Structure 1
Amino acid sequence: MDKFTDPHTGVFYNKLGITDAVELEQATKDASLRRLQELAAGYGPQGDTFDAQQLRAVHQDLFQDTFEWAGQTRREAGFQGVKAADLPGTTAVPMHFAPFERIDERLNSLGEQLKLENNLKGLPTPEAFAERAAYYFDHYNHVHAFREGNGRTLQATFAEIAFQAGYQVDFNREHEKLNPARDQGIVSLHGGQHRERDLQALQELFARNTTPLPGAEADAARHPSLAQPLRNGPTPAVRQIEQLRDLVAAALAMQQLVAGVDYRRTHRADALLNQVLDIDRNPAAVVQHGAVLQKLQQEVVLDKRFQDPASQRETGRFGAALAALHPPTPALAVTMGPAASSPAQPSASAEFVRAAKQLSEGLDAQGYPGPADNLLRAAKAVEKSAYLGGANLQAVTEALTRAEKLPALAEDAATLRTAGRSLQEAQRGMASASTPPSREAEGPER
């Protein structure tokens, strides 16, 4: 259900009382363009950290005259949605944006990495700036944080990034080419190994419409001494985002191939996409779905009907994307032993649940709703079964990895780690107690 839209009129809820979609679109355009000009003149949200808080502030500023929900992301209304790509010469290709549960987390991860890259300062030519700007624009666009107004929000955001880096980007000069260029990045027809080809149109668009700003301050912002390239590639958080994006993009072609294997039934093809989207929402779910998806991929690889280069390329791409997401062995302070068949002591599980819920609230308040939601689900599972393992353990590990980087959550993270260790020790103790004695301990048979 779309909670941003009036079900009686089919029009976005708005401050103006407009019930006609065309009229509302024009009114929104007029008001937001005025606000966009104000932002370009230096009025409105300022800052050098382009995270969830900043993008929310920009959206709120741009659409404050029209929408009461300005500044709210899709997460506030639980809206996912799928949109057809604007790619000339192709059939309608669906675009799957970031899961709404992960919007703030992904924006924060992108903002953190962009800050490590000094917000693209120190890039001496428009071409150098365009290459990195297109990379980040594509990622922010894939998050697609808002129900409406993503394009204008990103234009305002990247105009500010460019300004701080000593450049000006004119998004109006070839505006009609922007949507196809950015949609090509999301659809990712060429895959993660050839990402530059999917971003080529967007990169060239940036390059043609980026010019150096005059003045000593802009010259200084472009000086190579300020450049801070990512020498080890993307951060772990952004690398995982890229892996998830490639898995979802590869799943669409893989879904069609699986439907070809089961040409009279489609339930496995439908399940494949649902499982991939579940992993996108919660990467720890790869533990639950990975084996099934690998089996499907192998079936297609071996099927005689799909030995052509295109099919083999798509199955290989899907297999590589899936393999990249296999999680490492969970790394709590005490690793898991054999699964216990009996529940741990009630006090250990209760303490773990309390600590997990406390940290979940802290993560959500700090702008990381994805790990917060996954941790809360893990806590509820332990509350029912008094057992911690599998995907739930992976969710705990993910939450701790994030929380331990945030000073405000360090104490809560330490409490949860201690509670997790105690719960695992209790599980191993129960497993040992339930193991039957060996024949040797019982003495010879009589």
Structure 2
Amino acid sequence: MDKFTDPHTGVFTNKLGITNAEELEQATKDASLRRLQELAAGYGPQGDTFNAQRLRAVHQHLFQDTFEWAGQTRQEAGFQGVKAADLPGTTAVPMHFAPFERIDERLNALGEQLKLENNLKGLPTPDAFAERAAYYFDHYNHVHAFREGNGRTLQATFAEIAYQAGYQVDFNREYEKLNPARDQGIVSLHGAPHRERDLQALRDLFARNTTPLPGPEAEAARHPSQVRPLPDGPTPAVRQIEELRELVAATPALQQLVAGVDYRRNQRADALLVQVLGIDRNPQAGVAQHGTGLRQLLQEVVQDKRFQDPVSQREAARFGAALAALHPEQTKSVAPTPTVPATSQPQATTAAFVQAAKQLVEGLEEQGYPGPADSLSRAAKAVEKSAYLGGANLQAVADALTRAEKIPALADDAAALRSAGRGLQEAQRLVASPTPGRENEGPER
């Protein structure tokens, strides 16, 4: 339970004495909408600086009727947390926001860079404004400064930024599309080289719902003479934020590969995330402490014969590039290492695996699970032919073990297959090193 929540009721501590979460949500919504209208009318925080102090003031104004902690960020309570992204068509993808220790620092860095761009003045069309507004909205949203109310705080903030730049942004037109669009920016499935793809939905949302304001003052704000582009790109502080975000975003895919290296054991995969989040909190000390180990772990993944497919290699390269960007003089990119064919694996380990798999197939069939039994049988036949365990065959083995380990009568057979699988994978690793005179041959998929 975090410090913003009443440990007895499980709802946010509030001025109204409400102990029901749904009732509190509605009361908060009603009160904050009234305050949002005040901000739109020009009552509330003023000025052209959008730093930590400004966002705290906006949050305090919006939620002053409901929360004693209005205006306090996650930093005050040391709250980090993690949230699943709202992305239709995907499984629960974790979103890691900025470290709570760095909230004010990052908001101030963004506010400073925004001011260098003259708060987006001088952008003559809604599309031009939308491109830069989406970029900054994504960064402020990733900081996710508050325990509750980040969405409304950013809407109020960017409505004011738009107003000062000669535009009006209506977030209510397509409100249901806002969360998926902003979550896509945080998850960053496409990576730093293709950042525009991850921001496309947010940029389009801004463009569709931004209109030029009438009047000479707004026209003057939009005049190209007001534009202040960043000639050298992001400031050093914001560039480091972007590098750290890329490293964190690249971590979940590498975690899956590390778990595969360890044959469904997650200790090193979990430790990988902890180390990366440590770098996110303190880049210099974190890279010094964990950089060497992360590079070695990445090398192990890259050399593993099971992960020579383009997708796995691309994800590993993405993580390596992100790590290298943070400390290029100490972090070298990792290139795939040539491997020898799986057919050179010792026959004994393959035979032991196939025998254990056949034994478990019989047990699953007897227990009334023909589906997992059939998948495991086909995987065993493929491994017997190729002497290679990976890809879809490894997944079939994992699914069968997950089922079998829940059935006491199959416990011994499941343990035998797990042991045989580890033996086969260890044999694969032993020959996954460069051999002079042999060309790089990836495993069949």
TM-score normalized by structure 1?
0.73
Letter in 2 for 1:181: A
Matched-pair contact (CA < 8 Å) for 1:75–1:103: yes
Deviation at 1:276, TM superposition (A): 0.1
Deviation at 1:102, TM superposition (A): 0.2
Partner of 2:77: 77
**2:40 is equivalent to residue 40 of structure 1:** yes
**2:11 is equivalent to residue 7 of structure 1:** no
Determine the C-alpha separation between the residues in 1 that align with 2:259 and 2:295: 16
SS at match of 1:211: strand
Letter in 2 for 1:239: R
Determine the C-alpha separation between the residues in 1 that align with 2:58 and 2:49: 12
Determine the C-alpha separation between the residues in 2 that align with 1:252 and 1:91: 13
SS at match of 2:83: strand
Deviation at 1:327, TM superposition (A): 6.6
Deviation at 1:266, TM superposition (A): 2.0
Q: Deviations over 1:300-324 (max 9, x none)?
A: 1111101111111100100000000
TM-score normalized by structure 2?
0.73
Matched-pair contact (CA < 8 Å) for 1:287–1:327: no
Partner of 1:31: 31
Partner of 2:293: 292
RMSD over aligned CA atoms reads: 0.9
Letter in 2 for 1:64: Q
Deviation at 1:164, TM superposition (A): 0.2
**2:227 is equivalent to residue 232 of structure 1:** no
Q: Deviations over 1:350-375 (max 9, x none)?
A: xxxxxxxxxxxxxxxxxxxxxxxxxx
Determine the C-alpha separation between the residues in 1 that align with 2:194 and 2:59: 32
Partner of 2:245: 245
Q: Deviations over 1:324-348 (max 9, x none)?
A: 001769xxxxxxxxxxxxxxxxxxx
Partner of 1:319: 320
Letter in 2 for 1:322: L
Letter in 2 for 1:26: Q
Determine the C-alpha separation between the residues in 2 that align with 1:264 and 1:325: 30
Determine the C-alpha separation between the residues in 1 that align with 2:329 and 2:272: 23
Distance 1:327 1:8, change over 3 A: farther
Determine the C-alpha separation between the residues in 1 that align with 2:84 and 2:141: 14
Distance 1:264 1:162, change over 3 A: closer
Partner of 2:192: 192
Partner of 1:436: none
Determine the C-alpha separation between the residues in 1 that align with 2:270 and 2:160: 42
**2:223 is equivalent to residue 215 of structure 1:** no
Distance 1:214 1:310, change over 3 A: same
Partner of 1:164: 164
Partner of 2:367: none
Question: What's the % identity of the aligned pairs?
Answer: 86
Determine the C-alpha separation between the residues in 1 that align with 2:265 and 2:89: 30
* Greater alpha carbon shift after TM alignment, 299-308 vs 169-178: 299-308
Letter in 2 for 1:302: Q
Q: Deviations over 1:358-406 (max 9, x none)?
A: xxxxxxxxxxxxxxxxxxxxxxxxxxxxxxxxxxxxxxxxxxxxxxxxx
Gaps of 5+ in 2: 331-445
1:331-350 aligned at under 5 Å gives the runs: none
Determine the C-alpha separation between the residues in 1 that align with 2:294 and 2:255: 11
1:112-127 aligned at under 5 Å gives the runs: 112-127=112-127
Determine the C-alpha separation between the residues in 2 that align with 1:300 and 1:248: 18
SS at match of 1:316: helix
**2:99 is equivalent to residue 99 of structure 1:** yes
1:423-442 aligned at under 5 Å gives the runs: none
Q: How many residue pairs align between the two structures? A: 329
Letter in 2 for 1:221: A
Determine the C-alpha separation between the residues in 1 that align with 2:225 and 2:204: 25
Partner of 2:434: none
Partner of 1:438: none
Partner of 1:147: 147
Matched-pair contact (CA < 8 Å) for 1:286–1:327: no
Distance 1:36 1:306, change over 3 A: same
Q: Which has the larger radius of gyration?
A: 2
